[in-house]
């Protein structure tokens, strides 16, 4: 459910709004039209997927990855027992056998709470390159979370589960430091501004509806987005 809708509803929107017939080769142009009309939120799709070259290429790569992996035969026996893969999970998605993972347990970075070095940057399907949790908006963070689930799905067994520990974040003007020592050094040196500029800004400037001190409702939005993407 890349579009963020059940297939039956997606077909209905296309039939009623565009007088087209859905097939297994529905074009990205049709998906873009449906997205522009219905704006399913949250979902993996964003405006960048249809308006930038990087986003279009990223979307095609994401679709190709999922379709290729779902077409592969795999089982837990294909994964070597007592093996530790060191590194970012995003670097290992391609090498882990399909249908080989029974349980995923993780506590990912919360949005806008930590700053990681550029070596942790991830190339996302919407064309952005940023570390998970360092996105400029909560919407980008939610979308990237759903994208991560999408990449995990082909790797899970039929009874596989994902345990995802994530907390909510207040939309405040508290800026983000890499760590507490960085802020302490700034205070010690008498700096009036004891924070550093980051991509992720937890305040209302420029946001569509969030005000200062609002909860972003990220856990709820993630759950809603996963429902839209077909997870349960």
pLDDT at 20: 54
The first and second tokens of residue 204, run together, are 């209302």
Numbers of helices and strands, H then E, in the chain = 7, 6
Reduced to 3 states (helix: H, G, I; strand: E, B; else coil), residue 188 is helix
Q: What is the pLDDT of residues 125-180, one digit of tens each?
A: 999 999 999 898 899 999 999 999 999 999 999 999 999 999 998 887 655 555 55
Show the beta-strand stretches assigned E in 10-114.
101-106
**Domain residue extents for the chain:** 41-228
Enumerate residue ranges in the chain where pLDDT < 70: 1-40, 173-206
Q: What is the pLDDT of residues 23-35, one digit of tens each?
A: 555 566 666 666 6
176 close to 202: Cβ distance less than 8 angstroms: yes
pLDDT at 16: 59
216 DSSP 8-state letter: -
pLDDT at 115: 75
pLDDT at 221: 94
pLDDT at 214: 87
pTM exceeding 0.75: yes
Half-sphere exposure of 129 (CA within 13 A, CB side): 7
pLDDT at 51: 84
pLDDT at 149: 94
Residue 62: name the closest of 154, 200, 171 by CA: 154
Give exposure, 133-150, as e/b (b: 16+ Cβ within 10 Å): bbbebbbbbbbbbbbbbb
pLDDT at 70: 82
Instruction: Name the β-bridge partners of 127.
Output: none
d(C-alpha 87, C-alpha 35), whole Å: 35
pLDDT at 124: 96
How many residues in the chain?
232
Residue 227: name the closest of 160, 164, 166, 149 by CA: 149
d(C-alpha 232, C-alpha 229), whole Å: 9
Q: Which residue has the tokens 């007592």?
A: 82
Distance separating the N- and C-terminal Cα atoms of the chain: 12
């Amino acid at each position: 459910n890349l579009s963020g809708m059940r297939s039956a509803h997606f077909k209905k929107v296309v039939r009623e709004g565009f007088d087209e017939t859905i097939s297994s080769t529905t074009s990205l142009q049709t998906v873009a039209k449906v997205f522009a009309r219905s704006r399913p939120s949250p979902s993996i799709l964003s405006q960048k997927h249809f308006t930038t070259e990087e986003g279009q290429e990223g979307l095609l790569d994401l679709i190709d990855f999922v379709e290729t992996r779902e077409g592969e035969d795999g089982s837990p026996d294909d994964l070597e027992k007592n093996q530790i893969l060191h590194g970012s999970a995003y670097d290992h998605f391609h090498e882990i056998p399909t249908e080989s993972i029974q349980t995923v347990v993780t506590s990912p970075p919360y949005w806008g709470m930590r700053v990681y070095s550029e070596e942790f940057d991830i190339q996302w399907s919407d064309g952005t390159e940023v570390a998970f949790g360092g996105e400029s908006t909560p919407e980008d963070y939610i979308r990237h979370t759903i994208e991560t689930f999408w990449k995990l799905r082909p790797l899970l067994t039929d009874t596989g589960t994902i345990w995802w520990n994530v907390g909510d974040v207040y939309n405040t003007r508290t800026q983000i430091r890499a760590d507490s020592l960085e802020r302490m050094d700034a205070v010690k040196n008498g700096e009036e501004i004891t924070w550093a500029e980051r991509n992720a800004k937890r305040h209302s400037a420029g946001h569509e509806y969030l005000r200062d001190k609002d909860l972003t409702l990220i856990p709820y939005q993630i759950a809603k987005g996963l429902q839209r993407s077909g997870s349960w």
